[in-house]
Amino acid sequence: MRLDRPIGAFPGVAALVLVGLAAFTRAPALIVAAAGAVVAWIVVELTGRLALTGVEASVEVEPVRLVAGETMTAIITVTNRKPLPMPWLELRLALPEGIEAAGVPAGSPRQHVGAGFAPRGHERAVLRFPLVAPQRGAYSIGPLRLRAGDWLGFTQVERSVDVDVQAVVYPAPLSVRDRHRPSLRPIAETAVRRGLLPDPLRFRGVREHRAGDPRKEIHWKASARLRELHTKVYEPATSLDAIFLLNVASYEQFWVQADPDATEIVISATAELARLAAEAGRQVGLVTNGLDNLTHERPRSALGRGPRPLRRTLDILARLGPYAAASPEAVFLRERGRLPWGATLIVVTPRLGPALAAACVSLRRSGHRILALSITPPEPAAAGLLRQHDVTLDALGTDRYRAAG
């Protein structure tokens, strides 16, 4: 909170001259005028100094997480804790670029909302302002400016209140022409024909022996200890985990100026596919070469199941900028040791060049199923390399994906 800044002043010099003339001439009219000027001066000084004293204001936003294009509400609570009424109080809440006032007529300012009213003593007022977020991002709303004055209107006092209110706007959902295409299903059920095969190198525990269990899988030590047959249980060699590898670089040279439209398409597509995977009950994770707009660091979402990991993934996508920290192949191969065995990797990229295609093949050889989605079709040599190594490839064209209306 910043200190009050007074604006304007009472004409005290004129009041002093009037008092001097009244004392010198002893004229009744001048004495009355001088007394009135002194009383007005006292009222102005007293009520001006107390104008914002005891006035508290807070701001909150509902909801704090929403999808681009949706409406949220800024709730401003103002409390006048002193017994003196206020002749007027004006408040104005500054909005960041990307958040606008909803329902404002054409030609009116949209980068702030505000109101004016006259609070009574010990009154608490709650004001609600609809806001709209047309594009994704993480926004900090504020500050809140309060302005009031004395009872006679000679002076004004301003105060700026720093409010810690942030809103996260997720990418707008995409409407897909055919969500049942195998390439658009990140959990890749259609690619799993033999089911999940156990990996004998990944021992998980034991369970009671059942009819039909192979004899060689009996855990003899556990059976002797528990006095009944128990069978070994292994982790599956393949999993239905969906890990998204998002590339925000629009060109082979990642440091070249980005294409904002292409970046928005791949980010929105990743958000939509992550929602589909989470709704199917799959674990979701995210690896990207993009930079966070607020921290300027490369974020990462660990693999997890449920609303919290999905929210973490969507938060990262909302805050991503159009610039890359490194080449996608370098980032994705560096993360190879952290990826669970057999997980499905969904590579979402504006373009798929030879270097990224080679990285996809390397990840495929590491035991992962790969789904590559690119806005522009890859070169024939890169496409042939991907098909040769059983990497599913599809074009993420703007004709198939569009913002849902």
Phi, psi values for residue 259, rounded to 5°: -100, 105
**Which pLDDT band holds residue 71 (cuts at 50, 70, 90)?**
very high
- Measured CA to CA, the distance from residue 285 to residue 288 in angstroms comes to 10
Q: What is the mean pLDDT of residues 116-131?
A: 93
The sign of the dihedral angle between the CA atoms of 336, 340, 342, 346 is negative
Phi, psi values for residue 274, rounded to 5°: -65, -40
At 272, list the tokens: 């939509």
Residue 332 or residue 322, greater confidence: 332
Query: Which runs of consecutive H residues, i.e. helices, occur in 237-327?
Result: 260-279, 307-319
Question: Of 325, 346, 355, 347, whose CA–CA distance to 252 is shortest?
Answer: 355
Q: What is the mean pLDDT of residues 59-64?
A: 93
Dihedral over alpha carbons 207, 208, 214, 219 (to 10 degrees): 60
pLDDT at residue 55, as a whole number: 92
* 3-state secondary structure at position 203: strand
* pLDDT at position 344 over 90: no
Strand 55-62: give its sheet, edge to edge: 55-62, 71-80, 123-132, 100-101
pLDDT at residue 184, as a whole number: 41
- H-helix or E-strand spanning residue 332: helix 328-334
CA distances (Å), origin 332, targets 178, 288, 337, 378 = 28, 8, 10, 18
